[in-house]
Amino acid sequence: MKIINRLNLIIVILFIAVTILFAVILTNSNTITKENRTHLLFHEIYKGVTELDLIKYDYLLHHEKRMEQQWNMKYKSLMNLINAAEKEEAVKSIKADLVVFGNKFSQVIENYEKKQKLIQEEASEREINSALLIEKELVTQLLIKSHSIFSECALLAENAHNRAVKISKLSTIITFMIMIFFILSIIILLFLVSRSISKPLNKLKQGIEIVSKGNFEHQIEIVSKDELGDFASAFNQAIVSLKEATASRDELNKEIVERKKLEEKLKKLAHFDALTGCCSRGYGLSLLEQQIKNAKRKKTPILLLYLDVDNFKYINDTFGHQEGDKVLKEAVKLFKSTLREVDIICRLGGDEFLLIFPENSPDEIPIIKKRLNKNLEKLNQTLNRPCKIDFSIGFSVYDPANPQTIERLIHLADQKMYEDKSKKKNEN
């Protein structure tokens, strides 16, 4: 075979290899983009379900009209998101569960309004108790369905994330293997050609060995205008293409790293309150659930303190919401400086906080209040603001010997907090 034919053969192989390499990279990129889009979709659905769950708990605790409106808005927004992505099989199951969930929530609202009407009309105790039993059953069904949807969405989001990471790793491995095969193919072909040509081709071979070690800046210097010169020129162009392909792979890896950082950031936002940095409601309650499991195993109590910032509405209305935000931030700083590292600070919403003290009994309440009041007095003196920070505090205790639900524990602490707030108002 003539040299020109051999060189033409090498050029064709180079072209095919580069084409295959770019085709594989493009295919992998499209696959990664699709999986990341699916992952982001399920993450948005999971985030929406989490927010819907938080609003549900707020309504069950306070039964305020605005919470019902917030729930309806969030439910409609979530259903629109699901309808737009209904081509995903997994979304159909979530949609069906959400429809049931929405109906249950509507039944809870309707029964609550019916119960309130009976109370206002001074209906018989039997009718009121009947409405209360129905409410309890509906709330139980609502919580079960809510937990089911939350677990399903969390699993789907996690699976989508794992699938995206797996495909990304597989894509990198495939690209790397094709590049290795590409480089090795060039070396073998040029080695065969070098056996039948003169010294200039040996120089070409040396250049290939340099490139095969990763030095893509190297250029083969053959000035002859024969077949070897033409080949050297084509080879140099191929090295440029290979360098560009390597740069594209590096950009792809960089994008994957940035996406992982974004996922970690979104996870942090879901777990922690954006304003104060303490645990969010959902994350705090999940930590409390874990602590209750530990308490059952160790047979130790858990102390819960429910705190509300006094006159917070007055602070917002008089000095502005920025001042109110500063008060919330200072409150959390105060908690962190007063509590132990094992204790948990959770913002339930607005100006309400839940402090969780593992392995603490009611006997510790006076000591904790004393530390809080002492640090609070120092804080108010340091800040020297026109509005002083103060709290109304209620508490409840989880006893493994007489276990109660999380909702009941929070309700009891909330009641005692309002008793404390009423007592302060009467004293003033």
- pLDDT digits 0-9 by tens, 152-203: 777 877 887 788 788 878 878 887 887 888 788 777 777 766 665 666 667 6
pLDDT at res. 353:
95
pLDDT at res. 254:
76
Q: Which of 272, 268, 413 is nearest to 347 (CA)?
A: 272
- Between the alpha carbon of residue 91 and those of residues 36, 153, 214, the distances in Å are 16, 9, 47
Residue 314 has pLDDT above 80, yes or no: yes
Q: Is the separation of the CB atoms in 96 and 130 below 8 Å?
A: no
Percent of the chain's residues with pLDDT above 70? 86
Q: What is the DSSP letter of 404?
A: -
pLDDT at res. 86:
63
In this structure, what token pair is assigned to residue 78?
């979530």
Q: Is the separation of the CB atoms in 412 and 396 below 8 Å?
A: yes
The DSSP secondary structure of 195-224, one letter per residue, reads TSS-HHHHHHHHHHHHHHTT-TT-------
Please state which of the ranges 289-293, 382-386, 389-393 shows the lowest mean pLDDT: 382-386
pLDDT at res. 266:
63
Comparing 14 with 297, the larger pLDDT belongs to 297
Average pLDDT over residues 317-344: 90
Average pLDDT over residues 13-39: 75
**Band (291; pLDDT cuts 50, 70, 90):** very high
Residue 367 has pLDDT above 80, yes or no: yes
| β-bridge pairing 344-349 and 352-358 | antiparallel
Q: What mean pLDDT, rounded, does the chain reach?
A: 81
pTM tops 0.75: no
Q: Is the separation of the CB atoms in 178 and 186 below 8 Å?
A: no
What sign does the dihedral 195-200-206-207 (CA atoms) show? negative
Average pLDDT over residues 365-369: 91
Instruction: Tell me the pLDDT tens digit for each residue of 216-274.
Output: 666 766 666 666 667 777 777 777 777 777 766 667 677 767 777 766 766 666 788 88
Q: Which of 55-69, 108-122, 157-171, 301-315 has the highest mean pLDDT?
A: 301-315
Q: Which of 85, 91, 55 is nearest to 72 (CA)?
A: 55
Instruction: Tell me the pLDDT tens digit for each residue of 76-91.
Output: 888 888 787 666 676 7
Percent of the chain's residues with pLDDT above 90? 23
DSSP three-state, residue 358:
strand
pLDDT at res. 260:
78
pLDDT at res. 394:
94
Instruction: Tell me the pLDDT tens digit for each residue of 125-152.
Output: 888 788 788 888 888 887 888 788 778 7
pLDDT at res. 293:
94
> What ranges make up the beta strands (E) of 54-112?
none
Residue 1 has pLDDT above 60, yes or no: no
pLDDT at res. 262:
64
Q: Is the separation of the CB atoms in 342 and 358 below 8 Å?
A: yes
Query: CA-CA distance, 387 to 39, in Å (whole number)?
Result: 46
- Cross-strand bridge partners of residue 402: 399
